[in-house]
């Protein structure tokens, strides 16, 4: 069998050599970029997992501090989550726990700041819904019913529509808008589960403003 190349084979080899001579640097450059990108993605993925684990550890400690009644420690840990791990799912949850802890300790300014942080930074509608509800409650406690109504009129998860409507009824009643308050309480009753013990409280509010609850 002859080892000599045919003319056609030689032409193909020459074409490959010519291609490589022209584009070798480009090909190597592309391969280098791909290699760097792959390495960068691996590093980024590992860093993400590492930061998520760190955030989870801080959040677990925060929960323990809350149960122990350590208000200042809870606030400090929540602040760490918000500043160092703002993109973590634990940051919004930590902020909500800190807000509840501070509100219970009558540190209203800190609680409102933490709730506002959730509204400004969390991408989870559920977290925003909870934060907005609690912030509206604090506004109502501070005798700012008009601001509370504005807060409660913002979009929120349907799962919390009953609580939003009930609190909105309280705010409207404080503003002297009884008819609108009645509608809000009736909406709350419609949204509440039939077996919810909270129905009785809403019914009492509704009956108190001569808006008999539907059976």
Average pLDDT, the chain: 82
Task: Kindly report the pTM of this predicted structure.
Answer: 0.72
Pick 158 or 13 by higher pLDDT: 158
Mean pLDDT in residue range 185-202: 90
Residues 65-123: pLDDT tens digits? 888 889 999 999 999 999 999 988 889 999 999 999 999 899 999 999 999 999 999 98
The domain spans of the chain are 55-123, 145-215
pLDDT at 44 > cutoff 70: no
Of 202, 197, 199, which Cα lies nearest the Cα of 173? 202
Q: Alpha-carbon distance 24 to 19, whole Å?
A: 8
What average pLDDT does this structure show over 25-54? 60
Q: Do 74 and 82 touch, CB atoms closer than 8 A?
A: no
Q: Which two tokens stand for residue 64?
A: 């323990």
Phi-psi region of 210 (alpha: psi -120 to 50; beta: other; left: phi over 0): left
Question: How many CB atoms are closer than 10 A to CB 129?
Answer: 22
Is the pLDDT assigned to residue 181 strictly greater than 50? yes
């Amino acid at each position: 069998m002859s080892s000599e190349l045919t003319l056609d084979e030689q032409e193909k080899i020459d074409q490959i050599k010519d291609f490589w001579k022209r584009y070798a640097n480009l090909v190597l450059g592309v391969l280098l970029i791909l290699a760097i990108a792959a390495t960068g993605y691996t590093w980024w993925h590992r860093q993400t997992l590492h930061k998520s684990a760190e955030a989870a550890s801080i959040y677990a400690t925060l929960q323990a501090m809350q149960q122990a009644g350590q208000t200042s420690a809870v606030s400090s840990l929540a602040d760490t989550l918000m500043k160092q791990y703002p993109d973590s799912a634990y940051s919004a949850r930590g902020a909500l726990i800190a807000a509840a802890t501070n509100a219970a300790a009558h540190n209203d300014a800190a609680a409102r700041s933490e709730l506002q942080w959730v509204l400004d930074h969390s991408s989870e509608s559920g977290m925003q819904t909870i934060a907005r509800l609690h912030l509206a409650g604090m506004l109502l406690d501070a005798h700012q019913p008009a601001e509370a109504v504005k807060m409660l009129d913002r979009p929120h998860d349907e799962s919390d529509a009953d609580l939003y409507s009930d609190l909105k009824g309280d705010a409207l009643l404080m503003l002297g808008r009884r008819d609108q308050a009645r509608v809000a309480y009736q909406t709350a009753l419609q949204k509440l589960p039939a077996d919810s013990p909270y129905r009785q409280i809403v019914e009492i509010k509704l009956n108190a403003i001569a808006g008999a609850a539907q059976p």
